[in-house]
Amino acid sequence: MIASTLVTLALRALLASAEPEQVAPPAAAPVEQAAGQEAHAPTAGHGAPAEHGEAAAEGGHGGGHDASLGAVMMHHVTDGYVVEYPGVCEGRPSWNCEWNLRETFGDSLRFGALDMTPTKHVIFMWLASAALLLVVFTALRGKAVVPKGLYSFVEVLVAFVRNELAVPNIGPENADRFLPYLLTAFFFILFLNLFGLLPYSATATANINVTVCLALFTFFITQYAAIRAMGLGGFLKHLTGGVPASLAWLWPIMIPVEILGLFTKPFALTVRLFANMVAGHFVILALLGLIFAISVWVFPVSVALALAIFLLELFVAFVQAYIFTMLSALFIGAAFAGHGHDEGHGEAHGHGEAHAPAEAHH
Amino acid sequence: MALFAVPAPVLAAGALTDINPGLTLWAAITFLVMLAVLSKFAWGPIVKMLDERGKTISEAIEAARKERAEAEKLLASQKESLAKATREAADIAKRNQLEVEALRQELTARARQEADELVASARKQIIEEKSKAAAELRSMVADLAIDAAGKLIKASLDEKTQRQLVEDYLRQLPAGRA
């Protein structure tokens, strides 16, 4: 409760004090007043623009960018063609060197309307994938009947996905066929989530274009499983929602509903993962932004709360990987079960857990 | 509540939900590569190892159970033979004790008998020696008497002299010999 209140307060203060730079001067006065009242810090209004400059500098967003905190937060979470890193650039060490992918790749990866130029999220997706390969292949060196080292940990996760997600939801006879997909999805999402928590990195799973791709894989595999289990005829018949031919006049209602039903599942998967990853980052940025919006003296509270949310994010990284994998397994299992409407419990469960952090920032 | 309206322009900037098909395609390519590589080199071997471990463990449990049963059987037989051995040892000890006792009694009896025999033979010898001595004495007395008689006859003097002679003779005999 306290955390959500503070986050709301922070967002209000940040965005309110950010306004003067974006809107016309007459609108600035009342908003600044409101910010001052909310934050109980009369100096905040005056100090805000100067501190915003600091915020931008500290956050590594100097130069000609929009320096308001709201913009800084958006910049952190959204995708782009500029990768920032600490290193040596223009002949001197700097905390915020920039690598412009547009400049590097130019138009070489533009195919008509399709722009395949790697973005920041693509780069960090590759880095996270490389980290995943590194971890898994390092772990594999410890593979033995009596496991040791990192392998034990990887194997625990594999065994968990297999015994707790795949087998109970899909059934022991079909589970192993879908296990590679579920395991890859689990580890891929987990590593992308965790990688996003590193300084300077970006969370690819906080991009709806990435999550929709993962959800589409689950969608296609689910349809494949359904067609395989029921045959193409059975699959098409299933789209009537089980309404018999004698009630064929109901089909114009049932078929669109069923087809919509097919797409709600991947849509839910897409938005759940995306929203959760974005929300956590927003909360952390908002809490740290309090330091610049109110006063530097709120830093103990800000940093402590941001740390708490960061730890929560670590947990959420696992939970979201788990939920995505679990729901994928559930959908595949439901396709095998013949009629895919018994996943309501899993959906509700997923929503309850997954949306708590997302709601915190509203 | 008016403040809630303020975030809208920033949050609804659209940047969060920008559609970028290139990114989706890259994600798909990356994911498929990961799927291929990890399935072939990681998940397959790991799942195989899990199965193998499961098999190994169940086999080990089965073997342990079998061995335990065997060990219990062995232990029971060991206990039985131990009990038997103990019983036998007790028997032997008891028998030995009886034998020793019997031997002791026998030895004691024999020793006593031998002692008795020794005493008896000693007594017999003493009696024999004694009778032998008596016989010797008797013959010696007879010789003496004959000797004395011969002297008497030789002298054959008056009664007075005869008496005198006998008395002299008797006197010349060592005292206490009769």
pLDDT digit string, tens, across residues B10-26: 444 456 777 888 889 99
CB contact under 8 A, B43 and A145: no
Mutate to test the interface with A, among B3, B23, B31 (most CBs of A within 10 A): B23
Question: Which residues 34-93 of B have a C-beta within 8 angstroms of A?
Answer: 34-35, 37-39, 41-47, 49-50, 52-53, 56
> pLDDT: is A6 or A220 the higher one?
A220
Higher pLDDT, A19 or A118: A118
Helix (H, G, I), strand (E, B) or coil at A92: strand
Average pLDDT, integer, range B1-8:
41
Is the minimum CB–CB distance between A189 and chain B shorter than 8 Å? no
**Are residues A49 and A20 in contact, defined by beta-carbon separation less than 8 angstroms?**
yes
What confidence category does residue A144 fall into, taking pLDDT thresholds of 50, 70 and 90? confident
Does residue A46 or residue A221 have the better pLDDT? A221
Beta strand pairing call for A114-115 and A110-111:
antiparallel
Contacts of B141 (CB under 8 A, 6+ apart): B178
Given this model, what pLDDT does residue A10 score? 57
Q: Nearest-CA residue of chain B relative to A206?
A: B16
Residues 6 or more apart whose Cβ sits within 8 Å of residue A201: A124, A127, A195
Q: Does B127 touch chain A (CB under 8 A)?
A: no
Give tens-digit pLDDT for A308-338. 999 999 999 999 999 999 999 999 988 887 5
B24 contacts in chain A (CB < 8 Å): 209-210, 212-213
Which pLDDT belongs to residue A125?
92
Closest alpha carbon to A34 in A19, A51, A22: A19
Predicted local distance difference test score (pLDDT) of residue A47: 38
* Chain A residues near residue B15 by CB distance under 8 angstroms: 74, 78-79
Tens-place pLDDT, residues A34-57: 444 444 433 333 433 433 433 333
Helix (H, G, I), strand (E, B) or coil at B28: helix
> Taking CB atoms and an 8 Å cut-off, how many pairs form between chains A and B?
145
Nearest CB partner across the interface for B47, out of A74, A162, A187: A162
Which chain A residues are closer than 8 Å to B45 by Cβ?
A: 140, 143
| pLDDT higher than 70, residue A75 | yes
Residue of A nearest to B12 (CA): A74
Interchain CB contact of A78 with B (< 8 Å): yes
Which chain B residue is nearest to residue A129, measuring alpha carbons? Answer: B34
Confidence of residue B1 (pLDDT cuts 50, 70, 90): very low
Helix (H/G/I), strand (E/B), else coil: A86: strand
Distance from C-alpha of A285 to C-alpha of A72, rounded to nearest angstrom? 9
B18 and chain A in contact, CB less than 8 A: yes
Nearest to B39 among A144, A145, A180 (CB): A180
Q: Residues with Cβ < 8 Å from A122, sequence gap 6 or more?
A: A204, B23, B26, B27, B30
pLDDT at site A338 = 56
Which residues on chain B are in Cβ contact (under 8 Å) with A109?
22
pLDDT digits (tens, 9 = 90+) for B141-162: 888 888 888 887 776 667 777 7
Tell me which residue in B18, B27, B43 faces A183 most closely, judged by beta carbons. B43
For B78-128, the pLDDT digits (tens) are 999 999 999 999 999 999 999 999 999 999 999 999 999 999 999 999 999
The answer to whether A11 and B3 are in contact (CB under 8 A) is: no
A339 close contact with B: CB closer than 8 A = no
Chain B residue with the nearest C-alpha to that of A112: B22
Q: How close B32 gets to chain A, by Cα (Å)?
A: 9
Closest Cβ–Cβ partner in B19, B43, B49 for A180: B43
Name the residue ranges covered by the structural domains of chain B.
Answer: 44-172
Residue A119 touches chain B, beta carbons under 8 Å: yes
Q: CB distance from A208 to chain B under 8 Å?
A: yes
- Condensed to tens digits (0 to 9), the pLDDT of residues A300-309 reads 999 999 999 9
Q: Do B23 and A209 touch (CB under 8 A)?
A: yes
Q: What local confidence, expressed as pLDDT, does residue A53 receive? A: 38
In this prediction the ipTM stands at 0.73
Nearest beta carbon to residue B21 from set A114, A125, A147: A114
B63 Cα to chain A: minimum distance (Å): 17
Query: For A3-14, what is the mean pLDDT?
Result: 59
Exposure class string for A205-232: b at 16+ Cβ within 10 A, else e:
bbbbbbbbbbbbbbbebbeebbbebbee
Q: Is 80 exceeded by the pLDDT of residue A151? A: yes
- In chain B, the residue whose alpha carbon lies closest to the alpha carbon of A16 is B6
* pLDDT recorded at residue A133: 93
Mean of pLDDT values over B65-78: 95
Q: Which of B22, B43, B45 sits opposite A143 (nearest CB)?
A: B45
Name residue A98's beta-bridge partners. A84
A353 touches chain B (CB under 8 A): no
Per DSSP, A162 falls in state I
Residue contact A213–B22, C-beta within 8 A: no
Q: B50 vs A159: CB contact, 8 Å cut-off?
A: yes
Cα separation, A324 vs A212, in Å, equals: 12
